[in-house]
Amino acid sequence: MVRTDSWTRLLAKIAALAALLGMSAGAFSLVPVDNRLAAPLTGLGLLLLGGELFAELMERAGLPHLTGYLLAGIVLGPHGLDLVPATTVGGLTPINALALALIALSAGGELTMGVLRSSAKSLGAATVTQLAIVLPLAGAAFWWLGPNMPQFAQGSRGTLVAGALLWAVLSVSRSPAATFGLIAQFRPKGPLTQYAIAIVVAFDIIVLFLFALTIQVADGIASGRGQMGLGALRQVGDNLLGSVASGTMLGLIITGYFKFVGRQPILFLGVVAYAMAEFAAFFGYDMLLLFVVAGLIVANVSRSGGELLLEATSQGGRVAYVVFFALAGAHLDLGLLATIWPLALGLAAVRVLATWLAARAGSWMASDEPVVRKYGWMPLVSQAGVTLGMGVVVANAFPNSFGPALQSLTVAVVGINELVGPILFKIALDRAGEKSRDLDEPLREAIEQPESEAA
């Protein structure tokens, strides 16, 4: 009975998606291009329904929901069926920012002082080994494979060196959003989960500093000046400091609201998250860091506040994850990937190998638990928004030389890592035995139990 009802719900979702696709295609063909006011709402509906459908299909295949959300964006987006065109994807940027804010709040809520203290030794060792192993191996791989792109084959040696340095830093970046997405779905508990959270959050900060330094060095090498400006480094420091201070303030505000009001927490979090996302964008603050710090403050200042935060973000988080990763999939350029896939695949493979070596070495240095030594590299494969953002900065910094080419290569490699990374992390959680029940299971049981009893 349960199996039949499950397939019935799946077929109903397929029928609903097909109907929505048909109505959307008809609406877009009838409405003038300059008057599509409903396009963002239609696109959002398509991505939400498509994401849910693909997630259920992936679950039946034993894959994480994030993979389904990404595939929904790829299929429905501008590089697939184009039912959610590029203009609509751009119009959903504010909703995407809100989704990322809720994801980061939830992640910060997991970072209690106990978790941070227990992960300090592992974090220190992993930082050393990731920088000492991934940076040189990724840079060497680009030095060897980079000349396959005309911009580096025809450029000077300084251009190739600058590209290799920047690529090395891009390879060190991770995807906090993908990590937190799987944590939100499965609510895992254990040393591997703590390790993954600590590493991806820490490297979000480390990579920003390292990237600011490297882009100045690369500019000096590529131009032949050999000089480095410190203004950009000072600006990055100010922005990170502002992000931490703003996150602390937001965390205290949320804690106060939960303590003295406590009503409609999801609505409250949605309003303040949207406001602070706009605030962060205006001042150039790191939004991910800001909201992670806010969640950390709530979780550590008030135990009940931390529990309320996790409960509220888990209730509203499903929609946030669908929107964020479906939009990420919609940005993946399949045509570009098809053009440079051998080079992208080679660089992605070297990055995975270097990440594995660095994680094993770091776990050995820190005497981590066996489960971290064996599977600690798997949560570190994913890449997403942070890496893509740095690729845009590179393209703007070197517009007349190798910048656009390196950005295109970044998009292609991130696309591979974005699809493979969540699957590897889920495998690690399964083998480590840390995965709790899927957040959808209680809802499914509540629906199916009465029917099973009736049967």
pLDDT in tens, 107-134: 777 777 777 777 788 888 998 999 999 9
Same-domain check for residues 302 and 223: yes
Least-confidence region, from 35-44, 301-310, 353-362, 431-440: 35-44
Residue whose C-alpha is closest to residue 40's, from 81, 82, 95: 95
Structure confidence by residue, pLDDT tens digits, 274-297: 888 888 888 878 777 788 888 888
Predicted pLDDT of residue 449? 41
**Rounded to whole angstroms, what are the CA distances from 235 to 231, 239, 290, 296?**
6, 6, 16, 25
CA separation (Å) from 261 to 249, 258, 267, 313, 437? 18, 6, 13, 17, 31
pLDDT digits (tens, 9 = 90+) for 435-454: 765 544 433 343 344 344 44
* Same domain for 77 and 182: no
Is the distance from CB of 309 to CB of 105 less than 8 angstroms? yes
303, pLDDT greater than 60: yes
Q: How many CA atoms lie within 13 A of 3 on its CB side?
A: 1
End residue of a domain, out of 91, 116, 142: 91
In the chain, the number of structural domains is 2
Of 357, 336, 338, residue with least CA distance to 407? 336
pLDDT at 448: 41
CATH of residue 268's domain is 1.20.1530.20
Asked if residue 451 is part of any domain, the answer here is no
Percent pLDDT > 90 in the chain is: 16
Integer Cα distance of 30 and 22 in angstroms: 12
Does the predicted TM-score (pTM) go above 0.85? no
Quote the pLDDT of residue 150: 79
336 and 369 assigned to the same domain: yes
Residues 54 and 195 in one domain: no
Tell whether 64 and 196 lie within a shared domain: no
156 and 210 both lie in a single domain: yes
162 is a domain residue: yes
In a domain, 72, yes or no: yes
Residue 445 lies in a domain: no
Contact residues for 364 (Cβ-Cβ < 8 A; gap 6+): 373
> Is 381's pLDDT higher than 70?
yes
User: Is the domain of 105 the same as that of 148?
Assistant: yes
* The pLDDT of residue 352: 95
Return the amino acid letter for 202: A
Range of the domain at 353: 100-437
Judge whether 444 lies within some domain: no
Q: Are 285 and 246 in contact (CB under 8 A)?
A: yes
What's phi and psi for 333, nearest 5 deg?
A: -95, 100
Q: How far apart are CA 81 and CA 62, in angstroms?
A: 26
Same domain, 143 and 208: yes
Kindly indicate the confidence band of residue 7, based on its pLDDT and cuts at 50, 70 and 90: low
Residues 57, 111 within the same domain? no
For residue 455, being part of any structural domain is answered with: no
Residue range 224-273, pLDDT digits in tens: 655 555 565 677 677 778 888 999 999 999 888 888 887 888 888 888 88
Q: In this structure, are residues 358 and 132 in contact, taking their beta carbons and an 8 Å threshold? A: yes
Average pLDDT over residues 163-171: 92
pLDDT digits (tens, 9 = 90+) for 327-345: 777 777 777 677 788 888 9
Residue 450 lies in a domain: no
Tell me, yes or no, whether 208 and 142 share the same domain. Answer: yes
Is 453 part of a structural domain of the chain? no
pLDDT value at residue 142: 94
Q: Residues 92, 323: contact at Cβ < 8 Å?
A: yes
Same domain, 147 and 65: no
